């Protein structure tokens, strides 16, 4: 179908009931607007190089306007006239822009814990690997390389989670007519799917904490004393400490629910020893970062290897169990909303376990202090 496109007509065009529809812009040979049945409108340009017909996606409307699509068409014609291959970079088709729209349109309805996990995955693995890359240039080999790199760092469970996120994302891209081919089709199995069971012994924990230095070391020490999640402590602000308790709003927790962390005597002594250099407790003006480099230095200084920061939560939970703390209190300490606190129990039993959590962490703090001085 050919017609003279205008801004108004592009906006008014209705999507087909199934499949997709291509409307070529009259007066601009090879420039087309593809409308998917889901409502996505994408500008494309068709051209021949060495007799071979090529089709290139310019970007989605309205991120790219009709005028911008025609400008890209002109540059394509000029390049071909010179015997050159067209070169361009459409911001609308960059991975970071497409994945942002996916989250907004498709993932924002998920529960807070799921959205938190997805955001962490994007920040830690996907954006560092694919930021600045066009979505239609990410192939199966790129996906396999990403998953292999995660698996090779000893995180097979995370690799499988990333694979699931990536498959949902690219499937959405197909549905929205952003992509024609799914780069995740036929991916090999990743990792063995086994959960980690690493728990630091008292001796290992003492060596790790004894080697802790600087802001990073202080974060590790508080993680070991509280069993909190890494980002909850790394991004801790002085304003979130109320006397002998850390009080986190739902926006700061994985579950989306407010969480209080009683501070044992050992934890309070640690915090009292830190200077006030800014809003953030451990680094003044910004949260602690550069985890990989600092973790490698800590491993070398302590002589304890083959463990991850998240293993400290398991170490705290296991230690509390050995001290005789019951399961519900341990889950309350960890900020869990599943397990013994899920379903009907979570709805009707609203006990905060504040006093039990405080007693448990005080006993754990004394145990850690004893191990350090053993």
| Per-residue model confidence (pLDDT) at position 94 | 84
Backbone angles phi, psi at 115, to 5 degrees: -65, -40
| Per-residue model confidence (pLDDT) at position 346 | 44
Rounded Cα distance between 300 and 337, Å, is 36
| Per-residue model confidence (pLDDT) at position 278 | 92
353 vs 304 pLDDT, higher one? 304
As a whole number, mean pLDDT of residues 350-366 equals 89
Could you tell me whether strands 259-262 and 245-248 are parallel, antiparallel, or unpaired per DSSP bridges?
Answer: antiparallel
pTM: 0.57
Share of the chain above pLDDT 70, in %: 93
54 vs 329 pLDDT, higher one? 329
Backbone angles phi, psi at 226, to 5 degrees: -115, -25
Convert the pLDDT of each residue in 143-166 to its tens digit: 998 888 888 777 788 888 899 999
Convert the pLDDT of each residue in 170-209 to its tens digit: 999 998 888 888 899 888 887 665 566 889 999 999 999 9
* Secondary structure element (H or E) that encloses residue 56, with its range: strand 52-61
| Per-residue model confidence (pLDDT) at position 195 | 61
**Could you tell me the two tokens for 40?**
């996505």
Residues whose CB falls within 8 Å of the CB of residue 128, separated by 6 or more in sequence, listed in order = none
* Secondary structure element (H or E) that encloses residue 3, with its range: strand 2-3
Rounded Cα distance between 229 and 333, Å, is 11
**Average pLDDT of every residue of the chain:** 87
User: With bands split at pLDDT 50, 70 and 90, how would you rate the model's confidence at 275?
Assistant: very high
| Per-residue model confidence (pLDDT) at position 149 | 84
User: With bands split at pLDDT 50, 70 and 90, how would you rate the model's confidence at 341?
Assistant: very low
Does pLDDT of 79 surpass 50? yes
As a whole number, mean pLDDT of residues 319-332 equals 94
As a whole number, mean pLDDT of residues 302-328 equals 94
| Per-residue model confidence (pLDDT) at position 293 | 85
**Could you tell me the two tokens for 144?**
């396999």
Residues whose CB falls within 8 Å of the CB of residue 289, separated by 6 or more in sequence, listed in order = 234
| Per-residue model confidence (pLDDT) at position 340 | 45
Domains and CATH numbers, the chain: 2-89 (3.30.160.390), 95-175 (1.10.150.130), 202-372 (1.10.443.10)
| Per-residue model confidence (pLDDT) at position 345 | 40
- Backbone angle region of 248, left / alpha / beta, with phi > 0 → left and psi within -120 to 50 → alpha: beta
As a whole number, mean pLDDT of residues 237-262 equals 91
As a whole number, mean pLDDT of residues 264-273 equals 96
Rounded Cα distance between 155 and 166, Å, is 16
| Per-residue model confidence (pLDDT) at position 81 | 83
As a whole number, mean pLDDT of residues 266-276 equals 95
On whether the CB atoms of residues 255 and 342 are closer than 8 A, the answer is: no
| Per-residue model confidence (pLDDT) at position 339 | 45
Residues whose CB falls within 8 Å of the CB of residue 268, separated by 6 or more in sequence, listed in order = 244
Per mean pLDDT, which range of 33-37, 89-93, 94-98, 130-134 is the poorest?
89-93
76 vs 91 pLDDT, higher one? 76
128 vs 316 pLDDT, higher one? 316
């Amino acid at each position: 179908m050919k017609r003279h496109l205008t801004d108004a007509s592009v906006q008014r065009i209705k999507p087909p009931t199934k499949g997709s529809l291509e409307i070529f812009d009259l007066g601009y040979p090879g420039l087309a607007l593809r409308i998917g049945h889901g409502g996505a409108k994408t500008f494309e340009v068709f051209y021949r190089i060495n007799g071979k017909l090529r089709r290139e996606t310019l970007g989605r409307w309205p991120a790219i306007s009709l005028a911008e699509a025609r400008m890209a068409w002109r540059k394509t014609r000029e390049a071909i006239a010179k015997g050159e291959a067209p070169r361009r970079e459409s911001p609308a088709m960059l991975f970071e822009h497409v994945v942002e729209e996916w989250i907004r349109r498709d993932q924002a309805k998920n529960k807070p814990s799921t959205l938190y996990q997805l955001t962490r995955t994007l920040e830690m693995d996907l954006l560092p690997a694919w930021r600045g890359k066009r979505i239609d240039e990410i192939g199966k080999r790129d996906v396999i390389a990403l998953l292999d790199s995660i698996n090779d760092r000893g995180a097979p469970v995370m690799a499988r989670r990333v694979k699931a996120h990536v498959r949902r994302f690219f499937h959405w891209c197909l549905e929205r007519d952003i992509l024609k081919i799914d780069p995740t089709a036929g991916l090999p199995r990743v990792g063995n799917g086994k959960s980690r069971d690493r728990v630091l012994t008292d001796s290992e924990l003492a060596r790790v904490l004894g080697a802790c230095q600087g802001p990073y070391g202080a974060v590790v020490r508080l993680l070991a004393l509280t069993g909190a999640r890494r980002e909850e402590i790394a991004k801790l602000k002085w304003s979130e400490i109320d006397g002998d308790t850390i009080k986190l709003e739902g926006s700061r927790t994985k579950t989306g629910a407010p969480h209080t962390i009683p501070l044992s005597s050992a934890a309070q002594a640690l915090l009292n020893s830190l200077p006030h250099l800014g809003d953030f407790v451990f680094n003044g003006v910004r949260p602690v970062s550069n985890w990989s480099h600092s973790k490698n230095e800590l491993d070398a200084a302590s002589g304890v290897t083959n463990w991850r920061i998240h293993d400290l939560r398991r170490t705290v939970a296991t230690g509390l169990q050995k001290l005789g703390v019951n399961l519900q209190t341990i889950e309350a300490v960890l900020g869990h909303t599943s397990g013994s606190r899920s379903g009907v129990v979570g709805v009707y039993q609203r006990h905060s376990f504040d006093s039990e959590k405080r007693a448990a962490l005080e006993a754990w703090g004394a145990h850690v202090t004893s191990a350090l001085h053993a």
